[in-house]
Amino acid sequence: MNNDIPLNWFLYFAAASFAIGLVGVMLRRNAIAVLMAIEIILNAANVNLVAFWRYGPPAPGSGPLPGVILAILVITVAAAEVAVGIGLILLCYRRWRVADVDRYDTMSG
Amino acid sequence: MASILFLVIAAIGVAAALGTVLSRNLVRAGLYLVAFFFAVACLFVLLEAEFLAAIQVLVYIGAVAILLMFGIMLTRDTLGDDTTAIPIAWMVPGLFMGLCVFAVLVVGINNSIAPSGWSPWEGTTSRPSLAPRESEPAWIAERREAVNDMPRVIGVELMTRYVVAFEVAGLLLTAALVGAIALAHREDVEPRAPRATARAAETGPPPEAGEPVASSALS
Amino acid sequence: MAGVVLDEAWGSALAFAAHSQPVELNLRTWLRWALWLVVGFAVVFPGIVAYMVWLERKVAARFQDRIGPNRVGPLGLLQPIADAIKLITKENTVPRSADRIVHVLAPILVLTSAFLVMAVVPFAVGLVPVDLPSGLVYLIAVSSLTPLGIFLAGWSSRNKYSLLGAMRAVAQLVSYEAPQVLATIPVALWAGSLSLVTIFDRQLEFGWNVFSPPGLLAFAIFLIAGVAEVNRTPFDLPEAESEIIAGYHTEYSGMRFGLFFLAEYLSVFAVSCVTTVLFLGGGTPFPFLGFPVNLLGDSTASLILVNLILVTVFLLKVLFFVFVMFWIRATLPRMRVDRLMNFAWKYLVPLSLLNIFFAGVWYEMVIRPGRLTFGNWLWGTLVTGVLVVAAVYLIFLLNRKLAEAKPIGADWPSVATAAAELAR
């Protein structure tokens, strides 16, 4: 019990990754780079989930593995989102000939 | 020893995330992202969820990263607009904003209010031990069995307690599959803009501009 | 089956549950792992792979009515050493506009993935480098690193042929991962666990997995998908030597090409090992007997004897599968890329999905009673045999109807068009 990893180290890592991902979503102009930053954010949330599952108090009525199951569902949703996102980016690329999110500025045409 | 391991992996993870966000070359950014995914998988192993680590490598590195690489390849800029770099004027405000967000989160972590009977999270310096003892609460035994035999317990949980979430996730995946195919399907070429058709009337059908040669190998 | 998870002092004695005993991170374990790494992964496996290359050249030569390498050493046995020396002393060229780091990283990724597959294979009792409770998922996870490495190789070479080969390779590998994974699900269902050691143990009681109709179908699908996963003929379009120069490893020379070469043959070896463990019961010589594991007493001598028998038989079976892959390469022509994808998605995936149901039927009939009896086995074989044959026939029939209604762009007349021509 003496040289285990404190919980808040995991939380700091997740917070740092979340902040970096958020900076990426805000600053990057290339649509694929924005998707990559979104994936970083989702992974940070997953680390949070599993860390709290392992270290924290058990939630009554939710079984032995709530954090892990929720993390698996988040991974599933993230994969689906990337697939649809790439499809959308390809469509936008066909329309505007660039993968620049600043140019995706009209819904008509 | 575990702390040193965690520090090394976390440092690699944060460096990889920074590399993803700041890198100019998109393929390099993708590789940094793969390193980040791998660091997160190592963290899952440290948290005793090896099955989740395998799933993370399988789904993220084995599928999402490849999909992103394909996306990079198919959307290379052909008009000469460089979209891959962050504009210099945005760098300092952006990083400042990132630091502020991180500071807010750190303040939140350090001043957490704990559930009754548990120490606040900044005071949780070690995980609940799962070694068998004589008098232990029921959840410890359950959790020990879960961590020992995680695939089986995940299967049981997904089929009993979380079956609705499981089915909804399946529905979501099916919708994403159909949606992605419907979005990218190109069998009937959509009518081009009037400008282009007017030009086509003079010079003949325009070549398929903007679509890389290599992608025709797959269509 | 589960052992203790955690000790009080987590840092000093990390214990995670292995097959039936916890693994402690003490000196003995480190020594074991170091031995596996240095002896097994650095010496034995590359040695086996080098002589697999020699074997392939000899076998292919005999199939083509010639002799093969016989100049360097007796029977050409020193040929791999000569090849290695040649590759090492060749110049490592990197195209000028290529991304240097990615160019170097790609073969390392592919080779790492091939090595990592070998880390969970049980060669004998207790002779498994790491026994993970989720071994099958780990296998799928590391074999999904290969498409990434191949894509990076093709992309970083800045060469149209490389890119073409890489895209074809990734499409093929990702498509054939689905039937490969689905074919291992019956095996996991019957064993009740994802650990390869448990699968091996379960086959000691219930016979080899291949001696059951769903297992036979799963074995066939797994083998075909495995051949596709390692880019061997008839699925070697990515490195089609006569079509796109050398595909994704066009721009690689010297030892970097040697790494790709090593990775391919190591993957062949790894896929053969995994097939043997999953479907042919590892190193057991006879299908339905527990021999020689039931000879396992408490003495080290019995352990050594049993393990010797197991390892020998295991290597013989792996050699057989490797020979089959060489045989197929010498015999069959290459598949066209759209037919290849067609085969994966329209034939193998539906078949492997249906196979899961049949595996459930087999489980209920044969495995749930707890002991293998001949009557159960016979009834199970009859029922699932009929189901499997019907499913295969149905899938092929449906695909034929589909192909007649909407033919793929064939450049030779199909049956339907020829009939239409005759009728006119």
Interface test with A, best of C6, C8, C10, C134 (most A CBs within 10 A): C10
Our CA-based measurement puts residue C10 at a distance from the nearest CA of chain A, in whole angstroms, of 6
Higher pLDDT, C103 or B34: B34
**Cα separation of B128 and B137, whole Å?**
11
**A40 to chain B: which residues are within 8 Å by CB?**
17, 20-21, 33, 36
Burial (CB count within 10 angstroms: exposed 0-12, middle 13-18, buried 19+), residue C315: middle
Does one domain contain both B74 and B2? yes
pLDDT reported for residue B123 = 64
Q: What is the model's pLDDT at position A67?
A: 92
Predicted local confidence at residue B9, as pLDDT:
96
Query: Contact, C356 vs C387, CB < 8 A?
Result: no
B117 in any annotated domain: no
Residue C210 within any structural domain of the chain = yes
Alpha helices in A1-109 (DSSP H): 7-27, 31-55, 66-96
In terms of C-beta density within 10 A (0-12 exposed, 13-18 middle, 19 or more buried), how is residue C46 classed? middle
Contact C337, C237 (CB under 8 A): yes
Domain CATH for B32: 1.20.120.1200
User: Could you tell me if residue C254 is inside a domain?
Assistant: yes
Parent domain of B33: 1-78
User: What is the per-residue DSSP string for C7-28?
Assistant: -SSTTT---EE-SSSEE--SHH
Q: Is residue B149 part of a domain?
A: yes
Domain presence at residue B14:
yes
Per-residue model confidence (pLDDT) at position B80: 57
B50 within a domain of the structure (yes/no)? yes
B123: in domain: no
Q: Higher model confidence: residue C70 or residue B156?
A: B156
Residue C41 sits at the vertex; the CA angle it makes with C35 and C46, to the nearest 5 degrees, is 140
* pLDDT for position C333: 86
pLDDT at A71: 96
Domain count within chain B: 2
Name the residue among B70, B79, B173 with its Cβ closest to that of A97: B79
More confident residue, A73 or C99: A73
Q: How many residues does chain B have?
A: 219
Residue C17: φ, ψ to 5°: -70, 125
Q: Is residue B67 part of a domain?
A: yes
Contact check, Cβ <8 Å, C137/B55: yes
Give the pLDDT of chain C (424 residues) as one tens digit per residue: 333 333 333 332 233 333 334 556 678 888 888 888 888 888 888 888 888 888 988 898 999 888 888 888 888 888 888 888 888 888 877 777 777 888 888 889 999 999 999 888 888 887 888 888 888 999 999 999 999 998 888 888 777 777 877 888 888 999 999 999 999 999 999 998 899 999 998 888 888 888 889 999 999 999 999 999 888 878 877 766 556 566 677 777 778 888 888 888 999 999 999 999 999 988 888 888 777 777 777 777 888 888 888 899 999 999 999 999 999 988 988 888 888 888 999 999 999 999 999 999 999 888 888 788 888 889 889 999 999 999 999 999 998 888 887 766 655 555 666 677 777 6
Residue B109 banded pLDDT, cuts 50, 70, 90: confident
Instruction: Tell me: do B74 and B142 sit in the same domain.
Output: no
Averaged confidence pLDDT in chain A: 89
Identify residue C152 by its one-letter amino acid code: L
Best of A2, A68, A75, A86 to mutate (most C CBs within 10 Å, chain C): A2
Q: Which of C138, C152, C55 is nearest to C99 (CA)?
A: C152
- What residues of B are in contact with residue C168 (Cβ under 8 Å)? 217-218
SS3 assignment for B48-112: CCHHHHHHHHHHHHHHHHHHHHHHHHHCCCCCCCCCCCCCHHHHHHHHHHHHHHHHHHHHHHHCC
Q: What pLDDT does B204 receive?
A: 44
Residue C79 lies in a domain: no
The minimal CB distance from C148 to the residues B66, B144, B215 is found for B66
SS3 C411: coil
Closest-CA residue of chain C to A2: C9
Complex prediction ipTM: 0.94
Q: What is the pLDDT of residues A29-54, one digit of tens each?
A: 899 999 999 999 999 999 999 999 98
Contacts of C97 in chain B (CB under 8 A): none
Expressed as residue numbers, the domain containing C291 is 90-363
pLDDT reading at B169 higher than 80? yes
Q: Which residues contact C268 (CB under 8 A, 6 or more apart)?
A: C52, C230, C232, C322, C325
Do C352 and C392 touch, CB atoms closer than 8 A? Answer: no
Res. B206: pLDDT tops 60: no
Q: Which residue pairs, CB below 8 angstroms and at least 24 apart, start in B179-184? A: B179/A84, B179/A87, B180/A83, B180/A84, B180/A86, B180/A87, B183/A84, B183/A87, B183/A88, B183/A90, B183/A91, B184/A87, B184/A90, B184/A91
Residue B173 has pLDDT above 50, yes or no: yes
Burial of A32 (0-12, 13-18, 19+ CB in 10 A): buried
For residues A15 and C18, the model is more confident at A15
User: In this structure, is residue C238 part of a structural domain?
Assistant: yes
Token duo for residue B21: 């966000």
Probe site for chain C from B4, B218, B219 (most C CB atoms < 10 A): B218
The pLDDT of residue A66 is above 60 = yes
> Cβ distance B163 to A69 under 8 Å?
no
Q: Does A3 contact C11 at a Cβ distance shorter than 8 Å?
A: yes
Q: What is the C-alpha to C-alpha distance for residues C168 and A20, in angstroms, rounded to an integer? A: 35
Asked if the C-beta of B89 comes within 8 angstroms of chain A's C-beta atoms, the answer is no
Can you list the domains of chain A with their CATH numbers?
7-103 (1.10.287.3510)
C-alpha dist (Å) from residue C199 to B156, C122, C206, C239: 20, 10, 10, 34
Facing residue for C151 by CB, picked from B3, B66, B151: B66
Instruction: For residue C134, give the nearest of B27, B50, B62 by CB distance.
Output: B50
In a domain, B54, yes or no: yes
Q: Do residues B176 and A84 make contact, with C-beta atoms less than 8 angstroms apart?
A: yes
Count of domains observed in chain C:
1
Q: What is the mean pLDDT of residues B77-101?
A: 81
CB contact under 8 A, C167 and B217: yes
| Record: contact A8-B110, CB cut-off 8 A | yes
Query: Does the CB of B172 have a partner CB in chain A at under 8 Å?
Result: yes
All residues of chain B having their beta carbon less than 8 Å from the beta carbon of residue A87 are: 179-180, 183-184
* B70 part of a folded domain: yes
